Chain A
Amino acid sequence: GEDVEQSLFLSVREGDSSVINCTYTDSSSTYLYWYKQEPGAGLQLLTYIFSNMDMKQDQRLTVLLNKKDKHLSLRIADTQTGDSAIYFCAEMFFSGGGADGLTFGKGTHLIIQP
């Protein structure tokens, strides 16, 4: 079945760039997503990328996709304390039942050091 892997923790200094990495297994995935979860809250959609794209940029966020290696990364420029959260990578799978589901990684805890 589908599998999405992420490292569990990433620690960066405030003002540096954060790079969160993800690998996935389903080569037929058409969309890949990044979600952010702050403590005690639900998941907030940050950005997503279509599989025919290599890169997508949205303000401080840059998503890079290497389809050959099935590797996805999220770069956050000028990391701030408000970026402290868990970041989930997710790939879409097709259930055949009319709804497109998501397979999530276990999430990367981004820790910001002053």
Chain B
Amino acid sequence: DVKVTQSSRYLVKRTGEKVFLECVQDMDHENMFWYRQDPGLGLRLIYFSYDVKMKEKGDIPEGYSVSREKKERFSLILESASTNQTSMYLCASQWGVGNQPQHFGDGTRLSIL
């Protein structure tokens, strides 16, 4: 079974802090994704990566950056956290060959005070 692990289930940070959300997958998947989930808005894609050191902007990249230094790890970075970034963050990974489904982690509920 595919396992996607997000380092924290719950996280509380202060406005202006630099925040790192970590995601690790154990299936040697090429593609990894970061989404945020908000009530009434569903899931929105922030960034994705299709290879080490490669990244692509999703629908809402503003205020975020990402890092993919190793194939198994995809980090989401909030450069200067703001209260409107309080949300549930979901990481997903996907095999890069053919039309394969995405597999999700359990999510990180981030609160910015």
Chain A interfacial positions (CB closer than 8 Å to B): 30-31, 33, 35, 40-45, 48, 50, 88, 92, 95, 97-102, 104-107
Which 4 pairs between the two chains have the least Cβ-Cβ distance? A98-B50, A106-B42, A99-B50, A99-B31
Number of interface residues of B (CB under 8 A): 30
Look across to chain A and name the residue whose beta carbon is closest to the beta carbon of B33.
A101
Q: Which of these, B4, B43, B99, contacts A92 with CB under 8 Å?
A: B99
Residues A31 and B49 in contact, CB atoms below 8 Å apart: no
CB distance from A106 to the nearest CB of B (A): 4
Chain B contacts for A41, CB-based, 8 A: 106-107
Given A98-B54, A99-B49, A100-B31, decide whether A44 and B104 contact each other with a Cβ distance below 8 A. Answer: yes
Q: Which of these, B41, B42, B43, B56, contacts A99 with CB under 8 Å?
A: B56
Residues A102 and B107 in contact, CB atoms below 8 Å apart: no
Interface class of chain A by DSSP: strand
Residues A33 and B107 in contact, CB atoms below 8 Å apart: no
Docked pose: A74 CA to B25 CA in angstroms = 29
Chain A contacts for B92, CB-based, 8 A: 43
Residues A101 and B106 in contact, CB atoms below 8 Å apart: no
Look across to chain A and name the residue whose beta carbon is closest to the beta carbon of B107.
A42
Chain B contacts for A99, CB-based, 8 A: 30-31, 33, 48-50, 56, 94, 96
Q: Which of these, A33, A104, A107, contacts B101 with CB under 8 Å?
A: A33
Docked pose: A108 CA to B40 CA in angstroms = 11
Residues A97 and B40 in contact, CB atoms below 8 Å apart: no
Docked pose: A16 CA to B94 CA in angstroms = 34
Residues A106 and B41 in contact, CB atoms below 8 Å apart: yes
Docked pose: A48 CA to B105 CA in angstroms = 18
A–B Cβ pairs within 8 angstroms, 12 of them: A41-B107, A42-B104, A43-B104, A45-B101, A45-B104, A98-B54, A99-B31, A99-B96, A100-B31, A101-B48, A102-B45, A106-B40
Chain A contacts for B56, CB-based, 8 A: 95, 97, 99
Docked pose: A82 CA to B64 CA in angstroms = 36
Residues B42 and A88 in contact, CB atoms below 8 Å apart: yes
